[in-house]
Amino acid sequence: MPNSQVQLHIRFTAKPGKKEAFRAALFSLIGEMSSEKAFVGAIVSDDLDQPDDLIIYETWHGTRDSWLAEEFIKPYRKDYEEKLGALIANRSVSWLRPVSEWGNSGIDAR
């Protein structure tokens, strides 16, 4: 499949009082991964109904297998993963294959 992409939808539940520390670690990770050749984009959102939850939606060129083989092994990811135990209570990951798109988010929440 030419120009294939994979998307990760990851929901994190921060431990009580740790959301901002987790957000800082996540944003640092995104800063690192955004320079990767296969990186397309990422959106981080707060869940309005579950205030301890952060959701990241990442888009990458390639497949789940290529992402696991090439991106997950990066040294900066190991450092990030080691910090998570103290910051989050739960993480759920969904792997997605985009099939269509409308519009351009134009998000600039900073």
How does pLDDT run across 39-97, given as a tens digit for each residue? 999 999 999 999 999 999 999 999 999 999 999 999 999 989 999 999 999 999 999 99
Residue 59, classified by CB atoms within 10 Å of its CB into exposed (0-12), middle (13-18) or buried (19+), is: middle
Confidence of residue 110 (pLDDT cuts 50, 70, 90): low
At 43, is the secondary structure helix, strand, or coil? strand
pLDDT attached to residue 2: 52
Asked if 38 contacts 71 with a C-beta cutoff of 8 angstroms, the reply is yes
pLDDT attached to residue 70: 95
Report the distance separating Cα 79 and Cα 16, nearest Å.
22
Counting Cα atoms < 13 Å in the Cβ hemisphere of 91 gives 13
How does pLDDT run across 4-37, given as a tens digit for each residue? 999 999 999 999 999 999 999 999 999 999 999 9
Q: Give the domain 5-96 fold.
A: Alpha-Beta Plaits (3.30.70)
Full-model pTM:
0.87
Asked if 44 contacts 109 with a C-beta cutoff of 8 angstroms, the reply is no
